[in-house]
Structure 1
Amino acid sequence: MARRLTAPAAGRVYNLSIWGIVRHGDHDAVVLDRTSATATPGVYNLWLEGGGWVRLGPVVARDSRTVTRLVGSVDPMGALGVGRRASWSGIYYRDPADAGLDVEGVVIETPAGPAPAWLVRPPETRGSDWAIHVHGLASPRAGTLRGVQVATEVGFVSLVVTYRNDGEGPTVGAGRSTLGDSEAEDVRAAVRYAVAHGAERIVLFGWSMGAAIALQIAMDHEFTGVLDRLILDSPVLDWYTTIAANCSRVGLPSETGALARPWLECKPLARAVGLRAPIRLRRFDWVSRSASGPVPLPTLILHGTHDSSSPPAAARQLVGKQPETVELEMFSADHTLCWNSDPERWKRRVREWLAEPDAHLEVDASKSPAG
């Protein structure tokens, strides 16, 4: 379990079949295997084995084995065909150009080595308001483009980062993840880059494990006064709970997750797994840490009611303990699919949070839990 959780970045799994291409009114529609994911309302992407993708809209028909969804658009490189294998994803945009964003490629010097990043400057911006977007475990930075679009509309400069062992950033050791522990050092370098290039107010967007990283950085006194707020989608707020949930998701008793902990937290066992150092999992238990004081920044959490990877119970507990600091917006969605389930509501909520910096209570940083 510990090896699988920290495994080096790998490619997609193409576990769906295209059973048919049909017409529905004036639109093409694709017939797919019926699963809990493919039958879910919203807009998604179907990545095709061999290259290309298909954007999918609502379900228009279903039976016990298949669902039929409207086709929104097809990548020119991804011709639809019966029998093709495909991978289901909430990553809606392939790259910034696909999301309608003008981008500059930059490199951030991190403790792990040079890390490529995307820099997106809106046509109209003060240049001092920045958003830094941090993707999650086993997810490419393109997944954050759903949030970059909104930040760009509001006038924020966006920095979309990579970090060690994510498949795009520098490789360290055996390429294993440390679940946000050491990766946070690389994102800290990105915050310093933003400050050096004119950022005076920074919002951190964190997705899944990226949220765990963002919370760690929010504790740094180095960035007091420049970090303004957090936007966390499907955040990992407690790795113990998340590991147990992922055991349940693959058919194991949730209690077996406890067996993985020593292999992550104990130095000799962690080395046997392939890690260079143990992972400090307790640092990521934000519900317990909140007893020492509030999260130091106003925080918006966007979470799915059906999240099978990072259950929303921890988010609800955190809001219950810190209602003056943390706000929670729930969606009928699975992990990191809140935007996909209801793009307009997701964008509206984030836009409100970004555009009204004075609408939320200030947090006394002196009362925040020790980093």
Structure 2
Amino acid sequence: MSADREPAPLAPRLLSVREYEPLARDLLDPVHYDYFAGGAHDEITLRANEAAFARLALTPRILRGRGRPDLATDLLGHRTSMPVLLAPTAFHRLAHPDAERATARAAASAGAILITAMLSTVAVEDIAAEARKTAADAHLWFQLYIQRDMGFTEALVRRAEEAGCTALVVTADSPALGRHVRNDRNDFHDLPPGVRCENLRSLRADEPGHVRQVDLSPELSWDHVERLRAMTDLPVLIKGVLHPEDARIAADLSVDAVIVSNHGGRQLDTTPATITQLPRVAEAVGGRIPVLLDGGVRRGTDVAKALALGAAAVAVGRPVVWGLTVGGQRGVEEVLEILRDELGHTLTLCGCATPAELARSMVTGEGSPC
């Protein structure tokens, strides 16, 4: 179905974020559904991200009298209503005609940080304006693929700065694009007419309307991160960390935070689930910088497990796309509200008044040091 179709009514109210995906699948063009849902090669990592959470158990504390939980969280000096962010996902225009504008309004309304994708179908300036029309204190972080052309990379950084983005999230696990069997089978390699990656539109006067291609490089290195740090005062987060040694290097370089991520299973297949690697990365960092996580988060209990194992916050990607597909801004808001309610309920049952009170001793199973 076309992205210009009217959103489906959300009635009766859906009760878990997983319930959005089958509805979204029915609404989306099958090729576009496969793009959003799919992963690299055999999709082993894609499945592992969710499955690994199920192998972890929460061990609650009792009779602690903590009262109603407060989910508010500080991240890099930014106040957010809960430790759940919106992960960068591309091409929202394929999911809903309001595209990233609707996502930005939903995030701002929820008091959540949106990491807007470099490959968005709405320009970062317009996304930021939409968010701040909804909430003046909305925080927008910008996802950046460092390009072979560092001059163009710097131009993207300047756009993000001028739009009012308050951090850069460098996707570091992409020296090349992952290979997706679903996309190859569907021959999906180009956006449909009228849909473009607006942040890649040329800023040169002699190239009006020209849209550049993503130009990734296998030569991408920590030197590029240091060059990026030299060109901006914005906080820099490194996304795609799985190995503890990479986490140590990032902390040694005074990167502002790392995100344990395997790109939602979309890059190198057979990498470990992110929740499995989280304790090792957190231990390597040793509290010097915050550690975040994305990949496979579908329940408030998943959020709690990640926080207990060392994450300062988590980011969710596909559930946001499914909510956007089904109900536009309202659909994304409901996805976030479900996760908020589930996390609050989980904290109450675990005897915790804040996310910070979750401890490693409360998680057992694979990936836990207990």
- TM-score normalized by the length of structure 1: 0.32
> Bigger radius of gyration, 1 or 2?
1
The answer to which structure, 1 or 2, has the higher relative contact order (CA under 8 A, 6+ apart) is: 2
By percentage of residues, which structure has more helix? 2
Q: Which has the higher strand share?
A: 1
